[in-house]
A = this chain, B = another copy of it.
């Protein structure tokens, strides 16, 4: 399977490393070479039909801050259209206003009959239906496990392993930064501002933390789950949201007296898309601390299934992308058998 990676920041480099590391497994399991035949960062690119060396790409990026020798204007989609490959791995930064450059990259690939694997929330939280329609029409797959909760396998679990269940609703902690802050406020009795500063010092929160703490990131994930699992056609702006700026030390210690904690919970069902701080009983799965993401899936037969994993990180995100790649290779192996 020939891959093109667009985006060569932390996630793109993680993907390249993982493809290198899992080379033997991929070959032994699927009897086919998995090669990177193209790679793009925001200003340079490189292609090679016989495969690029992942380590060399990472080294060049580290030393020259460019992944390729060839310059371009940043419109990867113009070059993508002329390339021969099987699957696009789209890992450019999320933009939740325009969805670009992710949207156009993904749409271009799908329309030219390529599979797409992405970690890019923007395009899926803004224009999901257009992209999933394009995938169906062109008989290719659009896979996006990495867009929700990093290594937490919520999408493939819901759509594949739980295929026989009727999923009624989903609720969970979809942002590790908020959970870290709320957990520290409780554990140490810190005021919000101080817990936020601590998270910023540790690199868990951004300098401008609003995307996380105002609930935008969680709202994007709520919209993606609503579309992917309930077949809705929702944008992130359709999600009712309240962030955690208003959570006071008093509220947290009152909760603690009742053996409860406050958690920022996303709720998804055909009738409700919401992100808000909620009281959760200690001992309940959604009471966990730290930066994990955790989700409960309510179904007709199983009752409730919970899944958790690290919500961010280079290898964690690459792990989710690898799981999508393995699923594609598995499908592909079967369809090759059919063609014989």
CB contact between A161 and one of B161, B165, B302, B315 (< 8 Å): that residue: B161
| A10 CB-CB contact with B under 8 Å | no
Q: Which residue of B lies closest to A306 (CB)?
A: B308
Q: A309, B319: Cβ atoms under 8 Å?
A: no
Give chain B residues whose Cβ lies under 8 Å from the Cβ of A299.
Answer: 319
Interface size on A (CB < 8 Å)? Answer: 52
Q: A165, B319: Cβ atoms under 8 Å?
A: yes
| A81 CB-CB contact with B under 8 Å | no
Give chain B residues whose Cβ lies under 8 Å from the Cβ of A309.
Answer: 302-306
Q: Which residue of B lies closest to A145 (CB)?
A: B161
Give chain B residues whose Cβ lies under 8 Å from the Cβ of A315.
Answer: 301-303
| A64 CB-CB contact with B under 8 Å | no
| A3 CB-CB contact with B under 8 Å | no
User: Which residues of A259-310 are within 8 A (CB) of B?
Assistant: 282-285, 287-290, 292, 294, 299, 301-310
User: Which residues of A36-62 are within 8 A (CB) of B?
Assistant: none
Q: A308, B285: Cβ atoms under 8 Å?
A: yes
Shortest C-beta distance, A180 to chain B (Å), equals 12
Known: A164-B319, A306-B309. 15 other contacts (CB 8 A): A29-B163, A151-B305, A157-B157, A161-B161, A163-B330, A164-B326, A165-B323, A283-B287, A284-B289, A302-B315, A302-B320, A303-B309, A305-B307, A306-B306, A334-B338
